[in-house]
Structure 1
Amino acid sequence: MSAPGGGVEFPDAWYLILASRLIPDLDGGFTVATLARARQLADAGREPLLLTLDPGRPENHAAHREEFARRGAIARADAMRNLFDEASSGVDGGAADWLRRAAHAGSVDESLEYRQVTDAMGRPVVDLPVIAEDPDWHTSAAPVGVRGADGSVVGVVDGFGELYRAWLDELVASLRAREDKPVVLICESRQLGELLARWRPEGVRLAHTIHIAHVLPPYTPDAPVNPLWERWFAVAGEFDAVLWPTPQQKRDVEQRFGAHSGYLVAANAAPRVLAEPAPVAGNRIVMLNRLAPVKRVDHAIRAWQSVHSVVPAATLEIWGDGVLRDDLQRLIEELGLTASVVLRGRNDAGPVVFDGAVAIVQSSAYEGQGLSTLEAMSRGCPVIAYDVPYGPQDQLEHGAGILVPDPGGRGDITGLAEAMIRMLTDRPGRDRMAAEALEVAHRFAPEAAAAALAAGIRHALR
């Protein structure tokens, strides 16, 4: 179905996109994919509300919204809203009326440490329990303190889940009062999905997106399930639609846990695809990812020793930032590679960073889908990647690059080096893969991604 202007038509509904946080240049592909979904809806005339739950300062949230709007990542800054900004909207101080109504009599737990959230004038609004070093903190029913205009605790809500649901209840009620039509909530977070799976006010449908792999090393279909996912799988059948980013992950999940009519594939979109690859300029290979352990950037750096000995003029550009930046810089220096390997830091230029590059290399232990490789392919840049779930296996099944074996989830640094040397020295082969990259990227074009998202939403509404 097409909308006016040739785009994809989405059902007539109110749309909410819920994420734990959305901060510029943080959380990598999660933020990119979430905002891209919002733009697909906005471009089709169904502008969603983007909802976040991080208890930061109102001025910081405003700065995030303005920056996303400046970049064109969201249509309007006021389409992005935060729970704690709105909880702090009491006219005379204290929590907003909707939160006070949701609270019941009680007091905070004196045995716990609490973090106090204040409004823009510094007046206390909410007391959040600090559940330190517990990956299941979001499931705690520890009382959340709700403060009145005089600054005293006037009641509590039972845990983060009840706090989140109280805000969503208010939003849903206000939207449906304006126009009585369905509300589609797209949940972008596993933790939030666990808390909302059985929350279902009148007229609400819940679609849940997936961003990462659900298994532990060696990331094979029969590998141990990440314990953080076990509770999610227990409630997965409650969602009206679950949108998996790759066909392989959907197949693996269904073979292991059983089929579900609401399981659909809705890949994240590549950027607009170039008509032809950019000409190669020099002998530059690029990486673009967080500098985090799961990305195994050290594998690419260690492999570069062999690459440099064969192609001394080649360079490895590593774009991105993260906790391992200092460690990786030390490794580059220890291996004597400072002249040919450089950490470029955050990339603000977008996919044009791949223009003229010989290839992108991805050495991750796993991917949810692999947005940086899609960005590279949209520019005609071939991919070198470990053969890991769940992005590279699907993206490169029809060419466009080289899959390097990842035996036992340990990686193959020698194989990674050989693939990079091949790209650098076999220019006809590299150019053939560049053309294939554009063909593959068309399968992930924005229109295709939007059509899959719309199909998932139609299923949820049925």
Structure 2
Amino acid sequence: MLASRLIPDLDGGFCRAVLGRARDLVDAGVPAELLTVDPGSAADHDAHRAEFVRRGELDRPERLRNLFDEASADPSWVRAAAHPGTRDPALEYRPVPAAHPVLELPVIAGNPDWHLSTAPVVVLAADGSEAGVLDGFGGLYRAWLDHVLATAPGDGLQSVVIVEARQLGELLTAWDSPAKLVHTTHTAHIGEPYTPDAPILPLWQRWLHAAGAFDAVVWLTAAQRDDVIARFGAGRIDEVLPFGATAVAHPRPAAERDRHRAVMINRLAPGKRLDHAVRVWRRVVDQLPDAVLDIYGEGASRGAIEALIDELGLTERVILHGQIADPDTVLDDPAVLLLTTAFEGQGLAVLEALAHGTPVVSYDVRYGPAEALSDGGGLLIASGDEDAFGDAVLRILTDDDLHARLVAEAHAAARSRSRSAATREMLQMLARVAERPRRR
């Protein structure tokens, strides 16, 4: 499984989802490995591995591999892949790793398509001289994948590379390897106003036109798959494989929950529309003065959200707790989880809430909440309608019968969306991919 980076607490639901999927495959007997190309230090990467192991998200540290760590530990493969050439004299170069460089990377400043540059990556010999070059970041990444696959024991599903990042996927569509490529998706491909015909986000445009080269494209929801097919045709092998969240054995009964407490788990980012939630909570507190909204997450919008909380006099009623390592620890007590996002890939927090029997009030946005709540367990509100959202929250917080019904529905809905079921579907899809001819 190939991702740009996997850093504790940095990428929220994406990181939890990728690590969880890998761990589930390992538990199912598949020797899945996690591959990253983050050019951080080996010490930082070791710390990340140790933290993931501590949290139980990684079974052993060596399963999380990094290109630059491996190039530093054994440069033979990258030197063997280099060909004659010289650096681009017009560019600045950065030595990696800094202490004992094996590579010098071109610095492509101010260009969102930096990953597509074919500017030479310089490979250094043991004495520090230039041993040759690779053709851009794509050449470097492909050389590492060739090395990983050549040294992997066994066969079968190990020859399927699951790509978790579009920038990496773009560099592999012409990869000369017998490996199969499965590309996952994690978020919406559309911008404002987030309707099926809304503008395609820039990072998606080129990727969507190239996606037919992958041996499967995995969507988290049927709605996103259908929107893409309607707009771009069916020139891909499209699969729908939602993430799962295994239900707790015994969810806390409705009567034992904090009936005037709600929770949110998401990045503090503009697209999450935390300002909607804070304004809604002002209305809730006007009717339920002891009501508390706990918000877990970090991000660039913290300052703006703090200012709005102060402005509305909610400093004791809306609490920003910062990043949380394990969302499961805060999902048993609250009466409800709120989701005010403008868009999602699937909305992992919704699944995690249902798994704990915690009802959800969510805007009906693309993509995820409608499918997650199709069997009950929450209330869907037209996107952006703060008045209706507030009404729904107050109903759940004050109507004991409604709350008890939603708690029961939430847990029942989660049982049909378990991680084990998601893993079985993933294994079936990978087996189909392994049997088909390669598409690129």
What is the TM-score normalised by the length of structure 2?
A: 0.95
What one-letter code is carried by the residue in structure 2 that aligns with 1:439?
Answer: A
- Conservation of the 8 A alpha-carbon contact between 1:215 and 1:224: yes
Which residue pairs with 2:90 in the alignment? 111
Could you say what secondary structure the match of 1:131 adopts? coil
Q: Which runs of 5+ in 2 are unaligned?
A: 436-440
Provide the alpha-carbon RMSD of the alignment.
1.5
- Conservation of the 8 A alpha-carbon contact between 1:265 and 1:452: no
Which residue pairs with 1:77 in the alignment? 61
Q: Which runs of 5+ in 1 are unaligned?
A: 1-16, 91-95
CA shift digits 1:245-300 (9 cap, x unpaired): 11111111112112256211111111333334443124101001011111111110
Aligned length: 432
Q: Are 1:437 and 2:421 matched, yes or no? A: no
Could you say what secondary structure the match of 1:124 adopts? coil
Which residue pairs with 2:80 in the alignment? 101
Structure 2 CA distance, aligned partners of 1:391 and 1:421?
23
2:100 pairs with one of 123, 147, 160: 123
CA shift digits 1:393-452 (9 cap, x unpaired): 21122321111111xxxx122222222111111121121111111121122101211122
Cα distance, 1:365 vs. partner? 0.7
Structure 2 CA distance, aligned partners of 1:399 and 1:263?
27
Q: Are 1:449 and 2:428 matched, yes or no? A: no
Q: Are 1:421 and 2:417 matched, yes or no? A: no
What one-letter code is carried by the residue in structure 2 that aligns with 1:30?
Answer: F
CA shift digits 1:190-237 (9 cap, x unpaired): 1111111231413x1111111001111111111111121111112211
Which residue pairs with 1:13 in the alignment? none
Which residue pairs with 2:47 in the alignment? 63
Could you say what secondary structure the match of 2:9 adopts? coil
Which residue pairs with 2:17 in the alignment? 33
Structure 1 CA distance, aligned partners of 2:93 and 2:399?
60
Structure 2 CA distance, aligned partners of 1:70 and 1:46?
22
What one-letter code is carried by the residue in structure 1 that aligns with 2:4?
Answer: S
Structure 2 CA distance, aligned partners of 1:81 and 1:210?
21
Cα distance, 1:460 vs. partner? 0.9
Which residue pairs with 1:239 in the alignment? 214
Could you say what secondary structure the match of 2:334 adopts? coil
2:292 pairs with one of 315, 319, 322: 315
Structure 1 CA distance, aligned partners of 2:246 and 2:323?
19
Aligned pairs for 1:200-219 within 5 A:
200-202=176-178, 204-219=179-194
What one-letter code is carried by the residue in structure 1 that aligns with 2:84?
Answer: A
Which residue pairs with 1:301 in the alignment? 278
2:199 pairs with one of 208, 215, 224: 224
Could you say what secondary structure the match of 2:217 adopts? strand
- Conservation of the 8 A alpha-carbon contact between 2:35 and 2:64: yes
Could you say what secondary structure the match of 2:102 adopts? strand
Which residue pairs with 1:86 in the alignment? 70
Structure 2 CA distance, aligned partners of 1:292 and 1:310?
28
Which residue pairs with 1:189 in the alignment? 165
Which residue pairs with 2:137 in the alignment? 160
- Conservation of the 8 A alpha-carbon contact between 1:240 and 1:459: no
What one-letter code is carried by the residue in structure 1 that aligns with 2:432?
Answer: H
CA shift digits 1:77-127 (9 cap, x unpaired): 11111000111124xxxxx111112112222222222222126xx112211
What one-letter code is carried by the residue in structure 2 that aligns with 1:40?
Answer: D
Structure 2 CA distance, aligned partners of 1:43 and 1:349?
20
Structure 1 CA distance, aligned partners of 2:304 and 2:320?
11
Alignment identity in percent?
Answer: 49
Structure 1 CA distance, aligned partners of 2:145 and 2:285?
55
Which residue pairs with 2:321 in the alignment? 344
Q: Are 1:51 and 2:24 matched, yes or no? A: no
Which residue pairs with 1:135 in the alignment? 112
Structure 2 CA distance, aligned partners of 1:353 and 1:455?
33
- Conservation of the 8 A alpha-carbon contact between 1:370 and 1:391: yes
Q: Are 1:171 and 2:144 matched, yes or no? A: no
Structure 1 CA distance, aligned partners of 2:236 and 2:414?
28
Distance of aligned partners of 1:325 and 1:180 in 2 relative to their CA distance in 1, 3 Å threshold: closer
Which residue pairs with 1:375 in the alignment? 352
Distance of aligned partners of 1:273 and 1:198 in 2 relative to their CA distance in 1, 3 Å threshold: farther
Structure 2 CA distance, aligned partners of 1:312 and 1:419?
17
What one-letter code is carried by the residue in structure 2 that aligns with 1:191?
Answer: Q
After the TM superposition, list the runs of 4 or more consecutive aligned residues in structure 1 that deviate by more than 4 angstroms. none
- Conservation of the 8 A alpha-carbon contact between 2:244 and 2:422: yes
- Conservation of the 8 A alpha-carbon contact between 2:212 and 2:236: no
2:361 pairs with one of 384, 390, 402: 384
Which residue pairs with 1:263 in the alignment? 238
- Conservation of the 8 A alpha-carbon contact between 1:274 and 1:380: no
Structure 1 CA distance, aligned partners of 2:353 and 2:148?
39
Cα distance, 1:63 vs. partner? 0.9
